[in-house]
Amino acid sequence: MNIPWHIYRSFAQQHFPDVLKPRAKDSHKGTHGTVGIIGGNVGMSGSVIMAAKAALKLGAGKVKIGFVQNSLPMPVLESQPEIMLYTAQQLLQQQDINAWLIGCGMGTDNNACHILQTLSEHQLHKPIVWDADALNLLAKYTKFHTLLNSNHIITPHPTEAARLLQQQTAEIQAQRTLAALNLYQQYHCISVLKGYQTLVQITDTQYYLNESGHAGLATAGSGDVLAGMMVSLLAQGMDCAQAACAAVWLHGVAAEILSLQQIGPIGMVATELIDAARQLRNQLLMTDN
Ligand SMILES: NC(=O)C1=CN([C@@H]2O[C@H](COP(=O)(O)OP(=O)(O)OC[C@H]3O[C@@H](n4cnc5c(N)ncnc54)[C@H](OP(=O)(O)O)[C@@H]3O)[C@@H](O)[C@H]2O)[C@@H](O)CC1
Ligand SMILES: Nc1ncnc2c1ncn2[C@@H]1O[C@H](COP(=O)(O)OP(=O)(O)O)[C@@H](O)[C@H]1O
């Protein structure tokens, strides 16, 4: 199994140079940012847990989950006790979050809607990744439209994009470049149209077409892991455009690495991407292979 680290490194150097920045020797956990992740309604706690693990292992200093539930579904995350657990209402009171992710497994009930409104109104100038049910609420209620800005990233899959643009999924897929541009122009933020060859619309005239990854990524929770990686890079100080593109690329390359180890494409699961992405990030920092 030969993993072409040098090819990955030179691509990253050219397109996402911040991914290759080593940690400062005198850095501490505060330097690497605090991530806040809101979502995980009853029965969907797994989605925010996957996102949180991805955020932590991609290098964020601290990761906090706010479950959209009346009480915590578990007192501690046995498999990752480093992650701090709150209800969404408690997490929204915290002032130390550098970047937010909202929507994974969040549901679209009144409580979820209220939480999205509170976050987007009060944390307007912090980076926010809007994923999954945050996008479904965005599509449903026009009141959210004015709350998006250039600090924000939306990450729809084709059906979420169809809801946002009031089209059919087939229409989105037939004209993906146009759909990504429409998302950017209608929602005024970086727009990541997921699926085979994910498109990231960065400005009116600039987009990134991702070619890493494969169909093994079409598995439950893979988008949650991507969103966790993206918010981690944001919390570590990367700008929105680079964080969006770099996360999409790293997520795809993590899948390629797993396939080279015969852990995919078939049967590869979302959580397996996380350690592969961590290995990749560290390999990119090395210069001797
Ligand atoms: N462990 C957990 O807790 C998990 C929780 N999760 C949470 O579940 C919630 C519901 O999310 P969701 O995405 O499953 O439902 P929804 O928005 O109705 O879209 C589904 C439809 O979209 C389509 N579609 C998707 N991709 C496409 C593509 N590339 N190309 C084309 N079409 C594509 C596809 O349509 P089809 O082709 O089947 O007609 C499919 O039926 C959400 O909160 C999420 O975070 C999940 O993250 C999983 C792990
Ligand atoms: N055929 C494919 N080739 C490459 N990437 C894919 C393919 N199908 C899905 N993906 C990627 O997998 C992820 C799926 O995310 P999403 O649909 O939100 O799933 P979930 O909600 O289960 O987490 C996205 O990053 C998407 O780009």
Residue closest via CA to ligand 1's atom 38 equals: 159
**Coil, strand or helix at 87:** strand
Residue closest via CA to ligand 2's atom 18 equals: 223
The fold of 33-285 is UDP-N-acetylmuramoyl-L-alanine:D-glutamate ligase (3.40.1190)
Say which amino acid occupies 104: C
Which of 154, 159, 271, 274 gets mutated to test ligand 1 (max ligand atoms within 8 A of its CB)? 159
Ligand 1 centroid – CA 260 distance (Å): 27
Q: pLDDT tens, 29-58?
A: 889 999 999 999 999 999 999 999 999 999
Structure ipTM: 0.97
Ligand 1 centroid – CA 200 distance (Å): 19
What stretch of H or E contains 35? strand 34-39
Judged against a pLDDT cut of 80, whether residue 132 lies above it is answered with: yes
Percent of the chain with pLDDT over 90: 94
Strand partners, 36: 64, 100
Judged against a pLDDT cut of 80, whether residue 87 lies above it is answered with: yes
Ligand lying closest to the C-alpha of residue 193: 2
Ligand lying closest to the C-alpha of residue 198: 2
Q: Name which of 74, 221, 111 is nearest 65 in CA terms.
A: 74
Q: In residues, how long is the chain? A: 289
61 is in an annotated binding site: no
- How far is the C-alpha of 66 from the C-alpha of 45, rounded, in Å? 10
Judged against a pLDDT cut of 60, whether residue 289 lies above it is answered with: no
Domain coordinates in residue numbering, the chain: 33-285
What atom of ligand 2 comes closest to residue 224's alpha carbon? Answer: 23
Ligand 2 centroid – CA 65 distance (Å): 22
